[in-house]
Amino acid sequence: MTLIEESRTELDRTRFFIDGEWVAPQGSELHTAIEAHTEEAFGVASLGTEADMDAAVRAARRALDEGPWGRTTAAERADVMDRFAAALSARADATSTLVTRENGMPITLSNAFNGAAPAGLLQMYAQIARQTEFESVRPSMSGATIVRREPVGVVAAITPWNYPQVLAMMKIAPALAAGCTIVLKPSPETALDTYVFADAAQEAGLPPGVLNIVLAGREAGAALVRHPLVDKVAFTGSTAAGRAIGAECGGLIRRMTLELGGKSAAIVLDDADMDTFLANLDGASFMNNGQTCTTQSRILAPRSRYAEVTDALADYCRNLVVGNPLEESTTLGPMASETHLKRVQGYIDIGKASGARLITGGGRPAGLDRGWFVEPTVFADVDNDDQLAREEVFGPVYAVMPYDSEEDAIRIANDSEYGLGGSVFTADEGRGIEVARRIRTGTIGVNYYQLDLGAPFGGMKNSGVGRELGPEALNAYLEYKSVFVSADQLG
């Protein structure tokens, strides 16, 4: 028997969700889901082709142009979204566990981001939809103008493996609130969990074609991006892939939102409280095993406290509980795949060869012979021009760099191609806010870093284009139309 035949389970997803139905794939390629902490197969999923993507896009277009969704009111859409949220909440525990098995995310974090957050986002955008004025009339020099906010159309949502549920819903929820229809292409590395959306959507009564889900690799994903019936692309992933998508969308004059990579800095100012710094490292730098786009992997420390910071960081790493991500006591799980583990290990080798000082980690954790585990690793004396400081590792590998003054710290933090996250640690919050204002990054925290689902999220420079989350995200899924009429319409 082949690995795929041996791994078939009740979790298998060998059909796609298109036009409200489970349909057979038009190709024959299958993907085997491998559990991150055991390296054992536990499910099978079909991979889509360009023909599957075409079917999904055409279903989304029909749902928008011919189906009931294109004629719904904001209140009607909000009611469906609330039912969708309830259906996801009923599945939250099982979904969280499934994602943890897929990508190694610690279960406590998975409960929040894959269990609770998707339903919360649907409820939030349902409320935003109810409160948004989608049409208004204003006076003009010639009479009046009706200003309409209409759905942008068919949305191609392409999502990664690190936070599969919440990152998908960061696109689905505002798109639904705006009245768009969606084709979702999740990553093969998390091949099974995203279809939970389909199960919940059916239960909630989402009309056929409004949400379509096709698992696929790069070629079919590229076909989705360039499909002539797609109006907008919403992508989260690597900067390299984002460049390609941006170039394609630019040529097609197509709307896009790109949330890409990062190489963020955590600045420890000279008056920082070390206990506060250590207590907030989990959210700033170690969340999801370092497999987070906002990971602050450049730690900037004043020379006067450099040894103190490096020693404290090393102790913090040594005290992390590395192991089975399904156990609530675990604080650091495995990498998501064997391929990704090799990538992270490659960067560790680069750090060792660069002349930087390895102060902890660098190998495989003792006693963990199976699973894609790597020790949390800290290098000191890293130069900001080093590869380890310039490129996104996407794992628990950190570079500590000294600075001479506050101005020097700001310069180093801004000397990056990226600008997605960041943090400033200081005993003086006002001082921290002033430093934060000078860092060119889309998000930054003072004495902690924790994503606010009600505030805009996105990056500057090579970290992306546009914003997700908050009421602001709704605009990314709307087009404005001005209808010139007589003054009689002013009422």
Our CA angle for 263, 113, 125, nearest 5°, is 100
Residue 10: band (very low, low, confident or very high) from pLDDT cuts 50, 70, 90 = low
pLDDT at 216 (0 to 100): 98
Q: Please check whether residue 474 is in contact with residue 128, taking contact to mean a CB–CB distance below 8 angstroms.
A: yes
At 76-90, the pLDDT tens digits run: 999 999 999 999 999
Query: What's the mean pLDDT in 373-379?
Result: 98
Domains and CATH numbers, the chain: 3-260+465-482 (3.40.605.10), 265-453 (3.40.309.10)
In this prediction, residues 365-391 reach a mean pLDDT of: 97
pLDDT value of position 60 = 98
What is the full DSSP assignment across 232-294? EEEEES-HHHHHHHHHHHHHHT-EEEEE-----EEEE-TT--HHHHHHTHIIIIIGGGG--TT
Using only C-alpha atoms, the chain has a radius of gyration, in whole angstroms, of: 23
Q: For residues 383 and 307, what is the distance between their CA atoms, to the nearest angstrom? A: 16
Q: Tell me what pLDDT residue 9 has.
A: 60
Indicate if the pLDDT at residue 165 is higher than 60.
Answer: yes
What pLDDT is attached to residue 11? 82
Distance CA 293, CA 445 (A): 15
C-alpha–C-alpha distance, residues 121 and 319, integer Å: 34
Q: CA 122, CA 129: separation in Å to the nearest integer?
A: 10
The single-letter code of the amino acid at 292 is T
Residue 166, C-beta contacts closer than 8 angstroms, at least 6 positions apart: 113, 114, 117, 118, 121
> What average pLDDT is seen over the chain?
96
| 8 has pLDDT over 90 | no
Q: Is 259 a catalytic residue?
A: yes
Q: What is the pLDDT of residue 7?
A: 47
Among the listed residues 102, 189, 259, 468, the single catalytic one is 259
Q: What is the mean pLDDT of residues 390-415?
A: 98
Q: What is the pLDDT of residues 240-262, one digit of tens each?
A: 999 999 999 999 999 999 999 99
Show the beta-strand stretches assigned E in 426-477. 445-446, 460-461, 464-465
Q: What is the pLDDT of residues 264-313, one digit of tens each?
A: 999 999 999 999 999 999 999 999 999 999 999 999 999 999 999 999 99
Residue 491 pLDDT: 82
> Beta partners for 157?
184, 234
pLDDT (mean) for 48-54? 98
Proportion of the chain above pLDDT 70, given as a percent: 98
